[in-house]
Amino acid sequence: MGEKEKGKCFRKIKKEGRKMWLIAGLGNPEKKYNGTRHNAGFAVIDALLEMLGGKGLESTKFHGAFTKLRIGTEEVVILKPLTYMNLSGDSIAPMANFYKIPAEQVLVVSDEISLSPGSIRIRKKGSAGGHNGLKSIIARLGTEDFPRIRLGVGEKREREDLAAHVLGHFEKEDEKRMEEAYTDAAKACICTVTEGIEKAMNLYNKKI
């Protein structure tokens, strides 16, 4: 699909009614984790908020920083869990329950080590794939049936510790790719809400 069609997806507003969504980007809350591989989800939330007019996450509830706004006609909660990665479900599940958001409208954005930096994989549902943040969300929601956008951050080196890898920063040559991926993933969030997950998959799934 070309950039022109992607633009149409970004601009189009559905008119057949409203439904609330929760878009949650995963990461760790301390400043020292900014820009790390594991905080790719937080970076997408930052890009999304900028795209939607620069509104910040001015409220806190259920161990998370969040805001409520509209994307087109849809009411959306945008959330960064502040629980640290492995307990992400302790923020997302109560938030979804409070606003009566069904699992199929809980869109989770996370990092993915099995994909090369800059790649994007969008799915309607699926397993945790070894990701502790997703494991927590699945356990607390009681289902794997929620959409997710996973950003490639690259595999660890042969003798590198996995925790050190995901908590480390990107190589310089990968930084530009990741900035582009954050922007595309933010657009994919908007497209999912306004046009549906299938459209977002067709436009924004990419393998590098």
Is 169 annotated as catalytic? no
Residue 97, strand partner residues: none
How far apart (Å, rounded) are the C-alpha atoms in residues 174 and 20?
35
104 SS3 class: helix
How far apart (Å, rounded) are the C-alpha atoms in residues 184 and 100?
28
Point out the catalytic residue in the list 38, 131, 165, 169: 38
Token pair for 200: 């977002």
CB neighbours (10 Å) of residue 84? 20
Given the DSSP bridges, would you call strands 120-123 and 148-152 parallel, antiparallel or unpaired?
antiparallel
How far apart (Å, rounded) are the C-alpha atoms in residues 37 and 173?
14
Contact 125, 147 (CB under 8 A): yes
Active site residues: 38
